[in-house]
Amino acid sequence: MISKQMVNDMKHTYLFVVACCALLLTSCASSRYCADTFSAQAPAKVPLLLPYVDIFAISKGQEAYSDSLSTAASDVLTGILDDNLSQFPISEFIRIDDDELDRQVGRDGAALAFAPKVNTSNGVKTRAKNIRSLPLPESIRQLMDDNDLPYLMLLYENGFVRMKGEVVRESAKNAAISVGLAAVVALVSLGSVIVVPSVDLPNPYATTFTLMVADRANDSIVYYNTVEEVDDPLSRTEVYELLWRLFKKYPAR
């Protein structure tokens, strides 16, 4: 019989493998899509939903989602955004009080972030234009309707940190990691990344940021940009530099 713990482990492993395949095979890459209509009329500032962060720990060939690393990385990220808000095209932070909606938005946002990742003969590539054919998930649409938001910015971070000693599996307490199998199912249904059983991770750490803008009127993602680098998700300096790269291509800047 498959236990609940085994199911959770499989969810986390699948997400980890999908994420790290992208990090390894497209590191130092940047992929961007901007709808023509949004490029012409993008607002200078857009509300940003508080970011979702998934960080894994790896050691001695083992991997595990780390709630403590994810929380620490989230603190670094939100601290940078708070301290430098005027430097980014962000008007305000949107917080979700409903825990269930928060979890669902986390799942759907992460699935959207991974959706343009596709397998090619040269490895996993990001084809950002693939995002344009996808309607907004119901959870994100509901959030925008409830808050009367014409546009909503979504920011998703994922990565890993190589640790010393044994990897301790932690329960996923924050919303983003609950994407798990749901994101992978979405990816498979879209013909995107194929999950593989294992992956070699030579780097000490890596970080990916994906920025998206949802358009309520057009029921679609009208802006998508991802940057991937061998950067420490717990380093304020390195995260700031990666964020700067991510936001500098926003059309209204």
The Cα 202–Cα 225 span in angstroms is: 25
Residue the block writes with tokens 């780390």: 66
Claim: this prediction has a pTM higher than 0.75: yes
pLDDT digits (tens, 9 = 90+) for 192-202: 333 333 344 56
The Cα 238–Cα 173 span in angstroms is: 26
Q: Residue 210, CB half-sphere, CA atoms under 13 Å: how many?
A: 28
pLDDT (mean) for 124-143 = 87
- Angle between the N-to-C axes of helices 67-83 and 236-247, in degrees from 0 to 180, rounded to the nearest 10: 60
The bridge status of strand 205-215 relative to strand 151-162 is antiparallel
Residue 5 has pLDDT above 60, yes or no: no
Radius of gyration (C-alpha) of the chain in whole angstroms: 17
Q: Where are the extended beta strands (E) located within 163-240?
A: 205-215, 220-229
pLDDT band at 127 (very low <50, low <70, confident <90, very high): confident
pLDDT value at residue 163: 74
Residue 42 has pLDDT above 50, yes or no: yes
pLDDT (mean) for 149-167 = 86
Share the mean pLDDT of the chain.
77
Residue the block writes with tokens 């490029």: 39
pLDDT digits (tens, 9 = 90+) for 198-239: 344 567 888 999 999 999 999 999 999 999 888 899 999 999
Q: Give the residue extent of every domain in the chain.
A: 4-247
Residue 12 has pLDDT above 50, yes or no: no
pLDDT value at residue 197: 31
Amino acid present at 190: L
Helices (H) and strands (E) in the chain, counts: 7, 10
CA distances from 190 to 40, 92, 95 (A): 29, 32, 29
pLDDT band at 160 (very low <50, low <70, confident <90, very high): confident
| Out of 22-26, 65-69, 183-187, least confident range | 183-187
pLDDT value at residue 128: 83
More confident residue, 195 or 117: 117
More confident residue, 47 or 175: 47
pLDDT (mean) for 183-197 = 37
**Helical H runs in 115-230?**
138-146, 180-189
Strand, helix or coil at 157? Answer: strand
Residue 133 has pLDDT above 50, yes or no: yes
The Cα 204–Cα 185 span in angstroms is: 29
The Cα 100–Cα 74 span in angstroms is: 20
